[in-house]
Chain A
Amino acid sequence: MSATPDLTAVLAISDEVPDLEEILKQYGAEFRERGLLYEWLLVLDGLSEAKAARLKSRVPAGEPVRTLQFNQAFGEEHSLASGYREARGRYVVTLPSYLQLDPGDIHLVLSALAEHSDVVVGWRVPRVDPWMNRLQSWAYNRAMGAFTGVPLHDLNCGLVGMRRPVIDEVLVEGNVSRFLPILAHRQGFRVAEVRVRHLRERGRQGFFGVGVYVRRLLDVVALLFITRFTRKPLRFFGAAGGIAVLAGLLLCGYLVLDATMGWSHTGSLRNSTALVFGVALVVIGINTFSIGLVAEIIIFTTARNTREYTVERELPPGRGPHAPPPAAPEAPRPAEPAGERQPAERGGGRGAAS
């Protein structure tokens, strides 16, 4: 395959996929209908050789398929992340690994990508899974929306489309690839949602455990903490630590004065639990502050190699006042994907600054 495809469709596969032929055929037909040059990227997450061979043998003839193989199961997040890295298309779409959604709805995603959005997330309405899952999912998405400020209805939808620069610029390491839309939004990419028809859930899977969501929520808290306090950790840690030290000192000071002056007639610090507590506050405060200082030191020293900003486009000067007017001066944002205007050297937060 020599030509760069327009579209890479990524499938994370962790087990045998009964629907594989159907998925490839149906989505392939939709892609061809739009006249897209596409490729499939199947990420086999720790499938045995036998299973992998069986899977490959079931690929319909004519479908352009590449595969990536993990030697052991690393999970969906890592599969997607490595799929993103390997994808070559100008657009990348991840699909659920069974016929969960109506393949015809892929047009909505592709249209949105072609027009105005950098990231498009599916929103399964109406959901067809049990009420318990729906409730959990609803609560999860609400909580995430509140936490992250990105009000998406269905973050866990397997259908996500994005433009090339999103992959190049948003750092997606393993276990946060699920949160790519949120990260992309924070970097200033346009994130949109499209409603897709939810055909069915995988039969054998019943309710999700609450644990799944709690773990993801913790992931997101970590993620947010990372994105929000990585600039100036001491602003947060310093304030928290300072308050604790101050409170501790006030408490200890009062107790000592009280004992010395005999205000409350106890006259002794011997049994003072409060004093121990006050001292503990001071220690905790100093610990908090210095953790912040250490974090700040690390950031300060590594900051030269990171860029906090992302460049949407860079425009060179015109010809100057005496040049003939150019043909189309008013076209600041053509409908083409942003990837082509992106100079290769500005690679998001990864380029070396010096």
Chain B
Amino acid sequence: MLPPDCRSAASWSPYSLVSLSVIIPVHNEQESIGPLMRDLEAQLDRIPQASEVVVVDDGSTDGTAAELDRLRLESARLRVLRLRRNFGQTSAMAAGFHAARGDVFITMDGDGQNDPADIPGLLADLDRGFDVVSGWRYSRADSYWSRTLPSQTANRILAQITGVKLHDFGCTLKAYRASFIRRLNLYADMHRFIPGLAAAVGARVGERVVNHRPRRFGRSKYGFGRTYKLLTDMVVLRLLVRFATQPLHYFGLLSIVTFALALGLLFVAFVDTSSVRIVNYSTVVMPLLAVLGLCLSFYFLMMGLLCELALRHLPSGGGLPTPLARPGGAA
């Protein structure tokens, strides 16, 4: 069904789609998955490209596995991956990405809230030259206070931090050129940052307003507790992208700054200006801070060296992979 060599990375050949993999992580979606597959198959039948659907059963405990088995036998393009237990959405997605064979990946929620009818639009955007197209649930079918508002806030911060101006990072319906995804490190709740990471390795990121259908079956699996994790992850990621690429550079910078501060404080302590004598800043606080600065300075330097040591022996040389460049045609 799919050409055997379509796994080879960076198949850049002109922006026409060779094949399409739709990846759907599911966890306990016994009722939703059937109708979703029906819609999806109908939609994919209308698309000229060869396509496959990879449903990743993330350790479902209800009848999802049996239902998927039934659907699979009825379908010519549904592949089912069953994980050994519930590993979480990012891992399930990563499993789908690893198994998928297409040149274009489309991810969807298994709960049926994403509409397969949006797929042609996403593909058209990819053809227009985008590498990642994110869905934007412009009119969300969720309650405002518990879902929409926190999500809007998080999205604004995410856009600020990642530098990718999207309105809806949390929308699972996204289309990717597979060559970018295959260059990324996906683990532990990272799927929200794929657009940002993809941009960091050279992807052109766009978005498109997509339909958001109300949930018909089952319960939502998201809650408030995720916001803290999301926020810390964002800060961490920003640090990471910089530090992981050039650890000694950034740690070294910290080291130099703290060293200079410490020297300055020591100087003040020696000079003992009379203006601050009332509280003995110069004789107690300043030397103490100076020692603190010196300690940290050497500490940062060592950390930087440690990172270099740990990373530079890797085949990748550490940090993000080399960005993919797009052929710009003859000049």
Contact = CB atoms under 8 A, between A and B. Distances in A.
A279 B289 contact: yes
Nearest to B285: A269
B66 A309 contact: no
Contacts of B52: 317
Nearest to A303: B185
A248 B281 CA distance: 18
Interface of A: 187-189, 231-232, 234-235, 238-239, 256, 259-260, 267-270, 272, 275-276, 279, 282-283, 286-287, 290-291, 293-294, 296-304, 306-321, 325-326, 329-330, 332, 353-354
Contact of B232 (A234, A256, A320): A234
Given A189-B84, A294-B310, A301-B318, 19 more contacts: A188-B85, A235-B229, A239-B232, A267-B278, A270-B280, A275-B288, A276-B288, A286-B299, A293-B239, A294-B247, A294-B303, A294-B306, A304-B185, A309-B94, A314-B82, A315-B69, A316-B72, A317-B78, A326-B73
B318 A275 contact: no
B146 interface: no
Interface residues of B, number: 72
Contact of B82 (A231, A276, A311, A319): A311
A319 B236 CA distance: 46
A313 B244 CA distance: 35
| Interface of chain B: mostly helix, strand, loop or mixed | helix
B249 interface: no
A303 B73 CA distance: 35
Given A232-B188, A269-B279, A311 B76 contact: no
B165 to A, nearest CB: 24
B219 to A, nearest CB: 23
Contact of A300 (B82, B182, B185, B279): B185
Contact of B292 (A189, A279, A315): A279
Contacts of B186: 303
Interface string B71-101: 0111111111111110100111011001100
B69 A332 contact: yes
Interface of B: 9, 52, 59, 65-66, 69-70, 72-85, 87, 90-92, 94-95, 98-99, 182-189, 229, 232-233, 236, 239-240, 243-244, 247, 251, 278-281, 283-285, 288-289, 291-292, 295-296, 299-300, 303, 306-307, 310-311, 314, 316, 318-319, 321
